[in-house]
Amino acid sequence: MALETVSLNRSHDGMQGVYRHASRETKTAMTFSVYVPPHQAGAKLPLVWYLSGLTCTHANVTEKGEFRRACAELGLVFVAPDTSPRGEGVPGDPAGAYDFGLGAGFYVDATRPPFAQNYRMWSYVTEELPELIAQEFPVDPKRQSILGHSMGGYGALTIALRHPDRYRAASALSPIVAPSQVPWGIKALGGYLGDERAAWRKHDTVALIEDGARFSDFLVDYGDADQFLTEQLRPELLEQACSQAGIPLILRRQTGYDHSYYFVSTFMEDHMRWHAARLAR
């Protein structure tokens, strides 16, 4: 897993890097970003994973997320992978829709052709990239947490529920909490995994909780001016599922905020501090 450095920029006395490597899972070149805060030589730092939403790459949060000042203060490494495999020969949505195919991997290992060969984002994010990060960066694998936005919020919550002993904290900004019940998720899960809905449940936060998965606690923010709130996000379903399962949930409705990175950047520091408190235990 040879690592190519694409760019390095000093920020808040730490280093923001962008990197590329040949992925064994997606069989393509994959690009990701890592912010390493200032630290003493030999230190092993807590690690926060950030999963992006539809149409995004690593660059959206790297350039617009406004996380570095908090990460530098709190001593957090911040890793942002891409949202899908990219490159010539990688199958995408032939209709060019933004919510399926390129930029819309939905953090699953596709089982349906032609996507099964390359669209292995679950294994990439949960297995391959963590191996590479642990090998190349000063991180403590025993202190990891995860968050994401929109499709990435859905990814973060489902990954945490399926790996509760790996992540000390999980949060989300405007997540798709029940993809099996909303248009974005139905299209993606059906397209990648096929029509058998039982296979979808392990990639659905609400369904996982209903089926017995548990996590220590969640923090979720969404805006009441989010154009996708009613049809696609459905935060009330997560609130109901967590309540019935006894999972502590802080669910915050933020007045006047939409789905954009203006919203994400506003509450990023809150999430970094929430994660840092749990990673310090």
Which residues make Cβ contacts (< 8 Å) with residue 147, sequence separation at least 6? 48, 49, 50, 51, 153, 156, 169, 170, 171, 172, 173, 271, 275
Assigned token pair, 196:
């058998």
The yes-or-no answer on residue 33 being catalytic is no
Mark whether 171 is an active-site residue.
Answer: no
The one catalytic residue in 84, 150, 171, 174 is 150
Report how far residue 148's alpha carbon sits from residue 132's, in angstroms, rounded to the nearest whole number: 20
β-strand pairing of 77-81 with 139-149: unpaired
Scanning the structure block, which residue is given the tokens 């942002």? 80
**Choosing from 58, 149, 203, 259, which is the catalytic residue?**
259
Q: Shortest CA distance to 145 belongs to which of 127, 169, 164?
A: 169
Euclidean distance between CA atoms 135 and 128, whole angstroms: 11
Are the beta carbons of 44 and 30 closer than 8 angstroms?
Answer: no
Answer yes or no: 259 catalytic.
yes
Nearest CA to 232 among 108, 106, 121, 145? Answer: 106
Catalytic residue among 109, 204, 221, 226: 226
List residues with catalytic annotation.
Answer: 150, 226, 259
